[in-house]
Amino acid sequence: MRRGTRCCLCLHGGEWRGYVHPGNQEPANSAYADVAWLLQVTVQQTPESVFRAHRALFPLPGSTAPGLNRAFLAQLRAILRIILPHYFSKEALMLALHSAFLVMRTVLSVAVARLDGRLVRDLVSADAKGFLKGLGLWFALAVPSTYTNSMLRYLQSELSLAFRTRLTRYTHDLYLSPALEYYRLIDSGYLGGPADQYITNDVQRFCDALSALYGNLLKPTLDMIIFTTQLSRSLGGLGTVGLFANYFFTGYILRRVTPAFGKLAAVEARLEGEYRAGVGRIGRESEEIAFYGGGLREKSILARAYKRLISHVNSIYKIRIAYEWTEDYVIKYLWSAAGYLLMSIPVFLMPTRSVGVQAPGGPGEKVWDQVAGRTESYISNRRLLLSLADAGGRLMYSNKDLAELAGYTSRVYTLLSTLHHLHATPLSLTSHLTANPDRIALTEVNVAAPGQLLVKDLNLVVERGEHTCIVGANGVGKTAIARVVAGLWEAEEGEVERPLEREEVMVVPQRAYLTAGSLRDQVIYPWAYPEFVAHGGTDAELQLVLRDAHLEYLLEREGGWDTVKEWKDVLSGGEKQRMGMARMFYHRPTFAILDECTSAVSTDVESHLYNHAKALGITILTISTRPALIKYHTRLLKILGDGRGGWELSKVGTEEARMEVDREIGELEHRLGEVGQWEGRLEEIKGELGM
């Protein structure tokens, strides 16, 4: 995609469709009514049937430590079902092509080894014609050999990217499904860390390790088989036995000294995730941290997380010293010594074959043929043995790669199994959810936080137009009721009745979420631009929405609808809350739950926002600690916070409601009466400071 192009994604009929603007120029119609310029790119969404078929493959993991065991094989097999869905998938075809090039590379290696021996033979025999012919073959073989090496590197990278794309899309479809896994994952307790580390870094490492391991296992295995077969013809039965004895002896030594690299890799990934989460937390909460002056405190927390990470990484490096020393000694030097012994077998224990070279006449002709034959045999066998040693080394090194892959597999499997578990678990296990487009009703509902009953046997019916205010002290369960109504929490007992379509019940939180994108995207969220156009939306309509939210000036101040900024840093606290209300005005839900969403808005603007919402036909449920908001509602639900889940429901305008308002008025009048006293104290302080 060119720099300056714009794109967006939209869900249509089970498919994610991306729309790309091909240039920087705007369409002629500023209202974007004509969308002919949109280029459609379709991304298939994972069908629900696939998730159901895979569910049995992803039970929650046990307490087995990551390593080369049966659990690793079962986990890897389950993930392979995702990244290799069938034999004719793109990934499977790429894997077959990669395998073909690996076989070709091994065959070319044998041909190069034989040609190398032939060139040296012709040099020793002073056969100029044969030498030039062999040199021509050498250059001819160089073309497919170098091309094969380049293709192997390219296909390995493409294979890793294809695996990651398939696995990432699958994970995204689970993570961001309507079952709200992205919200529930935090409280599940299975991951033990932030999901972003699993979805981004761990998935990438797993795919890189898997694609590299395939080549590092298949190519050395092919080399071992083919090179051993070729060498057995020259070394005879005794040499072949020696080759296999060398393999088993080397494998036994390395298996005994190999550390638990899988567990070490899993711990490293977890510590990396903790450090990354700490850095992300500072970025997200930078303003709050700055208000408290908590930079030094956050630095110490971050330093401890980083110290734990580097201490673990350093311990891995120290463990690798002894292992890699043993590995290099065995593979490089022991194998080289074994190679010399094996190459001596044809010389000392087997008769030398004549190679049929036309040497100069005379009594030394037979000796000359023997020297040329031995030279050719030595060069070819040495080349094959060096390649065999390299193949054996990579095969032995792959034991470490396998262990690290086991660690990454454990992390990715834990993510997928947790998402499958949440996806299969309904949001409401004990309460019965009934669809009703005209009202919200909670019948004998218990609302509870972990280990604490907040509201007991709540009976609340909100018909259209019955604006209800929920008040109470902090921490008594007001927001918990909103979460139950919105479908984010399950009720402990009872029945919940509400519109089934989630867009019919909108929650406007105190901290308005501002998405990545343009100013237009902030108003129409969670819609993307194509949905906005498909519903007949225009920029003129959005401008009226901003005007009703007292935000119309943003168009001129920020540079228009298509301006893209980090809006959470651009807008003030009051502007963010009014943007949340503007979003509600645009979507016009049947019911809106306002959770302290005007606490940073002035009183006159707040009054306008509430009155306009009611004029649009939106039934309001307000959560607040301020009795001044009661006047915009017809009913009052008071959460007592008495430890027994008590609550009281009354109509606004009753004696109790008036007393609540009068009490707040009394508090404000008392504070206003103290203004003179505080002004006098201010003058005293100025005098003491010489101001």
In the prediction, which pLDDT does 568 show?
85
For 502-541, what is each residue's pLDDT tens digit? Answer: 788 999 988 888 888 899 999 998 888 888 898 898 999 9
Look up the pTM and report it.
0.69
- Residue bearing the bigger pLDDT, 226 or 237: 226
In the prediction, which pLDDT does 2 show?
39
Asked if 181 and 83 sit in the same domain, the reply is yes
Give the count of domains, the chain: 3
Asked if 551 and 465 sit in the same domain, the reply is yes
Asked if 417 and 485 sit in the same domain, the reply is no
Whether residue 3 is contained in a domain is answered as no
Whether residue 29 is contained in a domain is answered as no
Candidates 521, 527, 529; CA nearest to 8 is 529
Asked if 412 and 441 sit in the same domain, the reply is no
Whether residue 7 is contained in a domain is answered as no
What is the average per-residue pLDDT within 91-120? 82
For 20-43, what is each residue's pLDDT tens digit? Answer: 444 343 433 333 333 333 444 455
CATH number at residue 441: 3.40.50.300
Within 8 A by CB and 6+ apart from 428, the residues are: 487, 490, 491, 496
Beta pairing class for 619-624 and 452-463? unpaired
- DSSP class of 357: -
Residue that finishes a domain, picked among 387, 406, 424: 424
In the prediction, which pLDDT does 575 show?
93
The DSSP element (H or E) to which 591 belongs, if any, is strand 591-595
For residue 332, give both structure tokens: 């490089």
What is the average per-residue pLDDT within 356-378? 53
Q: Does the pLDDT value for residue 356 go beyond 90?
A: no
**Amino acid identity at 226:** I
Whether residue 57 is contained in a domain is answered as no
Asked if 137 and 271 sit in the same domain, the reply is yes
In the prediction, which pLDDT does 512 show?
85
In the prediction, which pLDDT does 225 show?
72
- Residue bearing the bigger pLDDT, 242 or 613: 613
Q: Does the pLDDT value for residue 362 go beyond 70?
A: no
Reported as a pLDDT band with limits 50, 70 and 90, residue 436 is confident
For residue 476, give both structure tokens: 């008594």
Residue that finishes a domain, picked among 376, 395, 424: 424
Q: Which residues pair with 650 in a beta bridge?
A: 636
In the prediction, which pLDDT does 523 show?
92
Q: Does the pLDDT value for residue 102 go beyond 70?
A: yes
Candidates 523, 482, 534; CA nearest to 505 is 482
- Virtual CA dihedral for 443, 449, 452, 458, nearest 10 degrees? -10
In the prediction, which pLDDT does 466 show?
92
Asked if 669 and 643 sit in the same domain, the reply is no
In the prediction, which pLDDT does 548 show?
94
Asked if 680 and 587 sit in the same domain, the reply is no
**C-beta separation of 290 from 283 below 8 A:** no
Residue that finishes a domain, picked among 406, 424, 442: 424
Residues above pLDDT 70, as percent of the chain: 72
Whether residue 11 is contained in a domain is answered as no
For 554-599, what is each residue's pLDDT tens digit? Answer: 999 999 999 988 898 889 889 999 999 999 999 999 999 998 899 8
Asked if 234 and 319 sit in the same domain, the reply is yes
CATH number at residue 406: 1.20.1560.10
In the prediction, which pLDDT does 467 show?
93
CA distance 582 to 352: 93
Asked if 560 and 667 sit in the same domain, the reply is no
Asked if 626 and 535 sit in the same domain, the reply is yes
Whether residue 63 is contained in a domain is answered as no
Backbone phi, psi, residue 645, to 5°: 75, 30
Whether residue 506 is contained in a domain is answered as yes
Give the structural domain span for 678: 656-690
Whether residue 533 is contained in a domain is answered as yes
What is the average per-residue pLDDT within 322-350? 66
Reported as a pLDDT band with limits 50, 70 and 90, residue 89 is confident
The C-alpha angle with vertex 488 and arms to 572 and 624, in degrees rounded to 5, equals 50
Instruction: Give me the chain's average pLDDT, please.
Output: 77
The DSSP element (H or E) to which 268 belongs, if any, is helix 261-284
In the prediction, which pLDDT does 370 show?
58
Asked if 74 and 132 sit in the same domain, the reply is yes
For 646-673, what is each residue's pLDDT tens digit? Answer: 898 888 866 555 666 666 667 767 777 7
Asked if 637 and 610 sit in the same domain, the reply is yes
